[in-house]
Structure 1
Amino acid sequence: MKTYICAIGTANPPHKIPQMQVADFMSNILQFDERESRKLQALYRVTGIGQRYSVLEDYTRDNGDFTFYPNTPTLEPFPTVQQRMGVYREHAVTLSEQAIRECLEQATHTNIPDITHLITVSCTGMYAPGLDIELVERLGLPTTVQRTSVNFMGCYAAFNALKLADAICKADQDAKVMVVCTEICTIHFQKNTEQDHLVSNALFGDGSAAVLVQGKPSADVSLELTSFHCDLAPDGKSEMAWHIGDTGFEMTLSSYVPELIQNGIKQLTDRLLEGLKMKVSEIDLFAIHPGGRRILEVIEKELGMTRDDNRFAYEVLKEFGNMSSATVLFVLKALMKTLTPQQQDEPILSFAFGPGLTLESMLLKVHYANA
């Protein structure tokens, strides 16, 4: 049995913030002197990010005109987890709905009442009754739709959701599974001058991506889910972590993460491809989660890729930043839009990474209905 990604929809909140404007905001709030500000601006410039999106307009405003953060020089009293979860709940449903509706606009012969399964993915907010039930109500999905939530798994979580969708469709060829990954990262800004926090504040943005997975291809282009492989690099579990603190979710993202990924990516790829009797040199299409510019560069070096091979990842990183679990689906969407019937059956290699340190890989194949 085969399963296919038949459509991908995406959504972002309305506030588009230039990267260097975020750098200025952070410098002011952290009360950096001129030397510290220059160093922070240099960090923001080398990320490869041009802009990010946020549900919070505060990042575009001067201190004294905030609506979420306190209008004090140090943002005290700093917003609590409860306040941040209130913002998450306010915006997550709307973003998810927008992504799902865009996804279904592209899907042929699939409408909202046809959806049999809903998988919601997020690591930036939780509540119950949760996002899944609110989407059932907002979209008018059947109350009998089967719901699953994948929570707090970080940037690689879309792979777990796709594996689950793949298993569901292989068990039931009539299943139509909607996966939606929604992350509101920017509500978790931590007022901390440690390097890990400075780096994470420089990378993450808000976004949602929805994917329709089913046992039959679409009438146009689809992506066949061919194979998955996951591995752990336990030595890196303290280098990338995600904890709930008193004032939000706290990201640990050390400078050693690219090195850890570089050390594990070749073995991960070989294990994914060995059962398919395929080599990386035979693959021309890539959809890699842009966890950061340096991560993309070390993967290119280790696998013998060019920057052009990684162009979709760089494009998403520049336009949106790192949106955690939704990001790799933005990359797949960008790639999917460029495909032609001449690329029928071409393989696509995809990676994502997250806490653990977890390394996820996936192989897809281009499918055209009339090729």
Structure 2
Amino acid sequence: MTARILSIGTALPDTRVEQSTLRDLFAAQPGFDRKSQRLVGAAFDAAAIDTRHVVLPQLAGRAADGLGVRDGDTLLMPPTGARNDEYRRTAPALFAEASRAALAGSGYEADAVTHVVTVSCTGMFAPGPDYHLVRDLGLSPTVERYHLGFIGCAAAIPALRLAARIVGADPAAVVLVACAELCSLHWQTSSHPDQIVAASVFADGAGAAVVASGDSSHDGLDLDDFATHVTDEGEKDMAWTVGDSGFEMTLTPEVPRIIGREISAIAADVVGELDRVDAWAVHPGGRSILDRVENALGLDATALAPSRDVLRRHGNMSSATLLFILRDLLADAARVEGDRIAALAFGPGLTVEAAKITVRRAAG
């Protein structure tokens, strides 16, 4: 039995902020010399991002309760505990909003959900997001719950793989997959190039999908196959560790170079014949990553338009981002019955996750 994504819901924090506003704020930090300021300007301007959403209104210059991250134009460095408290306060609502939207389009009521898979790498607490979804959505107290943490930007694909395995073993299962990331909580006011690059791309958002056995009465995305690949290099180039002042992201310039060098062989291995792919859902870790993938695979300039559009409007929302791209592909009337989608995402390791997906349109 093939598992199918029946619907995808998304959610964003209320605060929408221009990339130029964040650039100017970050460049104005005390202790940044002219070289650092030029690096900030170059990184933010080259990111191909127009706007991002954040759970911290102070980043947009608005007064707000909760975590204090700004004193005038000076960004503060709250301790990790305070940042995690803000995650615990704000993340459950985004998980719930995206999940309600996914359920609303799936044809299933909340009491039909049999399994919950939650994903996040930007906070932790127990009972966690999986538990809160049971309470917030009124799910059955007997729902099986799983949480995937610290897999990073690639995590939506392992979550969908787990959902597909569950449905494959139990065709009556209805699996709710929900990803939420609050990357803005972990901004580091450092002039180190890695931290500048991280600050220039990461944003907040949530996505959810309902996965179940498909039938001809409902549009959807069949989850046909999955693969994972660990590259020979990159273990130290993309990393996510817990520091005293938030989670510390390492994202070096080697990441797009490694992906550019290795993605052709990996894609041929895990996706198969590339000329049989009708659409691409590539996680936009940054503009340079998309450029490297496009060039290495010899793709048409429009092939990664869905990924570039999500990056432009929302930034890199870590694990949630891929669900935004798949949502847009599912809603695209140009995607017809039988179209083949190749999904690729990149996480710490450096790990490449891939999925083969087929578009299904309701009969008639």
**Which residue of structure 2 aligns with residue 319 of structure 1?**
313
Quick one: which of 283, 287, 307 aligns to 2:301? 307
Deviation at 1:263, TM superposition (A): 1.6
Quick one: which of 264, 280, 285 aligns to 1:286? 280
- Contact 1:121–1:149 (CA under 8 A) maintained in structure 2: yes
Deviation at 1:302, TM superposition (A): 1.1
Aligned partner of residue 233 in structure 2, secondary structure: helix
- Contact 2:238–2:250 (CA under 8 A) maintained in structure 1: yes
Aligned partner of residue 308 in structure 1, secondary structure: coil
Deviation at 1:45, TM superposition (A): 1.0
**Which residue of structure 2 aligns with residue 337 of structure 1?**
331
Distance (Å, rounded) in 2 between the aligned partners of 1:234 and 1:179: 30
Distance (Å, rounded) in 2 between the aligned partners of 1:123 and 1:329: 16
Q: What pairs with 1:107-256 in structure 2 (closer than 5 Å)?
A: 107-108=106-107, 110-217=108-215, 219-256=217-254
**2:2 is equivalent to residue 9 of structure 1:** no
Q: TM-score, normalised by structure 2?
A: 0.95
Question: 1:237-289 CA distances to partner (integer Å, 9 max, x unpaired)?
Answer: 11100000001000000001111111221121111244xxxx10121211110
Deviation at 1:213, TM superposition (A): 0.4
Aligned partner of residue 182 in structure 1, secondary structure: strand
Deviation at 1:220, TM superposition (A): 3.0
**1:171 maps to amino acid:** A
Deviation at 1:38, TM superposition (A): 3.8
**2:207 maps to amino acid:** A
**2:358 maps to amino acid:** K
**1:25 maps to amino acid:** L
**Which residue of structure 2 aligns with residue 298 of structure 1?**
292
**Which residue of structure 2 aligns with residue 91 of structure 1?**
90
Distance (Å, rounded) in 2 between the aligned partners of 1:30 and 1:211: 43
Higher alpha-carbon deviation: 244-253 or 22-31: 22-31
Question: 1:105-158 CA distances to partner (integer Å, 9 max, x unpaired)?
Answer: 2112x0100000000000001001111111111111110000000001100011
Deviation at 1:25, TM superposition (A): 1.1
Q: Percent identity?
A: 37
What is the aligned residue count? 364
Could you list the runs of 5+ residues in structure 1 that have no partner in the other structure? none
Deviation at 1:234, TM superposition (A): 3.6
**Which residue of structure 1 aligns with residue 351 of structure 2?**
358
**2:110 maps to amino acid:** I
Aligned partner of residue 236 in structure 1, secondary structure: coil
Distance (Å, rounded) in 2 between the aligned partners of 1:264 and 1:156: 16
- Contact 2:130–2:145 (CA under 8 A) maintained in structure 1: yes
- Contact 1:229–1:268 (CA under 8 A) maintained in structure 2: no
Deviation at 1:32, TM superposition (A): 2.9
Could you list the runs of 5+ residues in structure 2 that have no partner in the other structure? none
Aligned partner of residue 322 in structure 1, secondary structure: coil
Q: TM-score, normalised by structure 1?
A: 0.94
**2:306 is equivalent to residue 328 of structure 1:** no
Q: Structure 1 residues 328, 64: closer, same or farther in 2, change over 3 A? A: closer
- Contact 1:313–1:331 (CA under 8 A) maintained in structure 2: yes
Q: Structure 1 residues 335, 238: closer, same or farther in 2, change over 3 A? A: same
Q: Structure 1 residues 199, 217: closer, same or farther in 2, change over 3 A? A: farther
Distance (Å, rounded) in 2 between the aligned partners of 1:70 and 1:22: 12
Distance (Å, rounded) in 1 between the aligned partners of 2:220 and 2:174: 14
Q: Structure 1 residues 40, 100: closer, same or farther in 2, change over 3 A? A: same
**2:25 is equivalent to residue 25 of structure 1:** yes
- Contact 1:63–1:73 (CA under 8 A) maintained in structure 2: no
Higher alpha-carbon deviation: 216-225 or 141-150: 216-225
Q: Structure 1 residues 229, 30: closer, same or farther in 2, change over 3 A? A: farther
Distance (Å, rounded) in 1 between the aligned partners of 2:71 and 2:64: 5
Deviation at 1:66, TM superposition (A): 9.6
**2:60 is equivalent to residue 60 of structure 1:** yes
Distance (Å, rounded) in 2 between the aligned partners of 1:64 and 1:207: 19
Distance (Å, rounded) in 1 between the aligned partners of 2:51 and 2:31: 23
